[in-house]
């Protein structure tokens, strides 16, 4: 269906390949060409694909987006999100390219490496050859393959063994595109937490203007034995933008990884979360909150692979939808044959605030072991009119009553976020979204 557009991306890669960072390094070329080969093979997903049955990407795939180049980066006028209470090590990217002048990396503690992926490729960081792309499934969809083909910049984070990072590492991706043609950025992040290390990482996507653009992002997270990682993805793209992202987590023995996935922006937003528990004692907590308004479409696909015995996972996603927005949740837990004594819990709850809001939810268990403790469930409902009436009878206006009840619904997830400024920001955005009835990133 989209052969001409797919060919345009292939032609763009062939024209740019030699100038991409690390283009002269054989293994880098092999990685990129494997991504291109996969994209040629599968192209863009369609609604005929089971995992994309409820998400039509035609608005993304019907025309090629121009690759945002380093020379076209607009730095002046870019406003970054500021948190007075959040002290962080900040790494800023504009249109997918690292901007040192906007970053704050001068006070990194010993044992912590934070640098742009493009610099790491140019410097030939040896670890990239063995780890970059290792945990992205070969059979994944064409968007991830396209990201691999065009991987140019992003963050390379390395936490040494037994190193504890006091302040979060914040990755901010800003789109401030210049020109009339819609453009695409390909952020690629690699985070490696060494044995016994502890770190919090905040990956944030924001916009400078109400542009129409496409963000195609992939993050790989490796947690070595006994590492503790608290990872946040906060997606606040323009209401006209498209966002397709993947987070691929690999956990070793006794590691603990908490992923917090918050989606509030974008016309079409899709996030794939794949967690692999590869050694005993690993624990994964997956928290998710998606807030849809207007005509937004927000899709979350999660998969947890329990590959060995004595691992645990806890997944808790909630959605709040108003206007004509639509959400998709597909949560899959796979317990392999050797994964005895697995404890896996999954819950997805959704609140529809308008008659035209819609959600498709599909919790799924695949269990091939016989000594496990697993559960999953999903709910879809509306605000209780009796509760709204009760608050109104106490002198609270209807809008405030609805906002209070909605926040009470969402706070079960928000309270799980360890970073207090993030909790405060989500409360603020949730209230504004309800009162305005507009997506995040759209002017009132």
Residue range 392-411, pLDDT digits in tens: 888 888 878 887 888 888 88
Q: pLDDT value at position 179?
A: 63
Whether residue 404 lies inside any domain: the answer is: no
Give me the number of domains the chain comprises: 1
Beta carbons within 8 Å of 417's beta carbon, 6+ residues apart: 232, 260, 287, 423, 426
What mean pLDDT comes out for the span 294-320? Answer: 96
Percent of the chain predicted with pLDDT > 70: 92
Residue 236 pLDDT > 70, yes or no?
A: yes
Whether residue 393 lies inside any domain: the answer is: no
The answer to whether 381 and 348 are in contact (CB under 8 A) is no
Whether residue 428 lies inside any domain: the answer is: no
Angle formed by the axes of helices 398-414 and 420-436, nearest 10° = 150
DSSP code string of 315-379: EEEEEEE-TT-EEEEEEEEEE-TT-TT-EEEEEEEEEE-STT-EEEEEEEEEE--SS-EEEEEEE
Whether residue 390 lies inside any domain: the answer is: no
DSSP state of 95: T
Distance CA 287, CA 373 (A): 20
> pLDDT: is 137 or 255 the higher one?
255
Which structural domain, as residue segments, surrounds residue 358?
Answer: 3-385
Angle formed by the axes of helices 385-393 and 398-414, nearest 10° = 120
Beta carbons within 8 Å of 105's beta carbon, 6+ residues apart: 89, 90, 91, 114
Strand pairing partners for 318? Answer: 289, 349
Residue 440 pLDDT > 60, yes or no?
A: no
Whether residue 443 lies inside any domain: the answer is: no
Q: pLDDT value at position 70?
A: 65
Whether residue 148 lies inside any domain: the answer is: yes
Confidence class for position 444, pLDDT limits 50, 70, 90:
very low
What mean pLDDT comes out for the span 58-72? Answer: 81
Residue 191 pLDDT > 50, yes or no?
A: yes
Residue 198 pLDDT > 90, yes or no?
A: yes
The answer to whether 426 and 289 are in contact (CB under 8 A) is yes
Report which of 274, 251, 335, 263 is spatially closest to residue 296, judged by C-alpha positions: 263
Query: pTM higher than 0.95 for the full model?
Result: no
Residue 287 pLDDT > 70, yes or no?
A: yes
Residue 73 pLDDT > 60, yes or no?
A: no
SS3 191: strand
* Average pLDDT over all residues of the chain: 90
How many C-beta atoms lie closer than 10 Å to residue 444's C-beta? 7
Confidence class for position 67, pLDDT limits 50, 70, 90:
confident
Report which of 257, 75, 92 is spatially closest to residue 171, judged by C-alpha positions: 92
The answer to whether 271 and 299 are in contact (CB under 8 A) is yes
Beta carbons within 8 Å of 444's beta carbon, 6+ residues apart: 436, 438
Confidence class for position 303, pLDDT limits 50, 70, 90:
very high
The answer to whether 87 and 108 are in contact (CB under 8 A) is no
Distance CA 255, CA 133 (A): 21
In degrees rounded to 5, what are phi and psi of residue 247?
Answer: -120, 120
Q: pLDDT value at position 64?
A: 84
Token pair 């079960």 is found at 412
How many C-beta atoms lie closer than 10 Å to residue 235's C-beta? 26
Whether residue 391 lies inside any domain: the answer is: no
Whether residue 303 lies inside any domain: the answer is: yes
């Amino acid at each position: 269906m989209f052969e001409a557009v797919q060919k345009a991306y292939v032609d763009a890669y062939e024209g740019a390949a030699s100038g991409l960072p690390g283009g002269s390094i054989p293994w880098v070329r092999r990685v990129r060409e494997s991504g291109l080969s996969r994209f040629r093979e599968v192209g863009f997903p369609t609604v005929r694909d089971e995992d994309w049955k409820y998400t039509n990407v035609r608005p993304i795939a019907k025309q090629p987006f121009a690759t945002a180049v380093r020379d076209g980066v607009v730095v002046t006028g870019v406003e970054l999100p500021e948190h007075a209470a959040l002290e962080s090590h900040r790494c800023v990217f504009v249109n997918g390219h690292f901007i040192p002048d906007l970053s704050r990396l001068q006070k990194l503690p010993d044992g912590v490496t934070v640098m742009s992926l493009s610099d790491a490729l140019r410097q030939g960081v040896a670890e990239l050859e063995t780890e970059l792309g290792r945990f992205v499934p070969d059979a994944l969809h064409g968007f991830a393959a396209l990201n691999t083909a065009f991987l140019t910049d992003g963050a390379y984070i390395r936490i040494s063994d037994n190193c504890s990072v006091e302040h979060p590492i914040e990755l901010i991706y800003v789109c401030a595109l210049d020109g009339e043609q819609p453009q695409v950025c390909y952020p690629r992040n690699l985070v490696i937490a060494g044995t016994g290390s502890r770190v919090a990482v905040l990956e944030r996507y924001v916009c400078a203007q109400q542009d129409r653009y496409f963000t195609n992002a992939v993050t790989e997270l490796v947690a070595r034995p006994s590492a503790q990682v608290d990872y946040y993805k906060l997606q606040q793209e323009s209401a006209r933008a498209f966002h397709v992202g993947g987070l691929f987590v690999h956990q070793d023995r006794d590691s603990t990884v908490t992923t917090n996935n918050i989606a509030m922006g974008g016309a079409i937003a899709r996030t794939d979360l794949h967690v692999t528990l590869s050694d005993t004692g690993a624990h994964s907590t997956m928290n998710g909150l998606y807030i849809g308004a207007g005509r937004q479409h927000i899709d979350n696909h999660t998969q947890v692979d329990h590959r060995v015995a004595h691992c645990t996972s806890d997944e808790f996603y909630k959605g709040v939808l108003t206007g004509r927005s639509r959400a998709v949740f597909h949560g899959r837990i796979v317990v392999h044959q050797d994964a005895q004594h697995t404890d896996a819990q999954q819950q997805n709850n959704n609140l529809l605030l308008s008659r035209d809001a819609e959600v498709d939810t599909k919790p799924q268990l695949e269990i091939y072991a016989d000594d496990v403790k697993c559960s999953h469930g999903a709910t879809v409902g509306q605000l209780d009119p009796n509760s709204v009436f009760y608050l109104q009878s106490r002198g609270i206006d209807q809008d405030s009553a609805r906002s209070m009840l909605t926040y009470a619904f969402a706070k079960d997830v928000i309270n799980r976020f360890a970073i207090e400024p993030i909790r405060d920001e989500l409360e603020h955005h949730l209230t504004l979204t309800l009162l305005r009835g507009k997506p995040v990133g759209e002017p009132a």
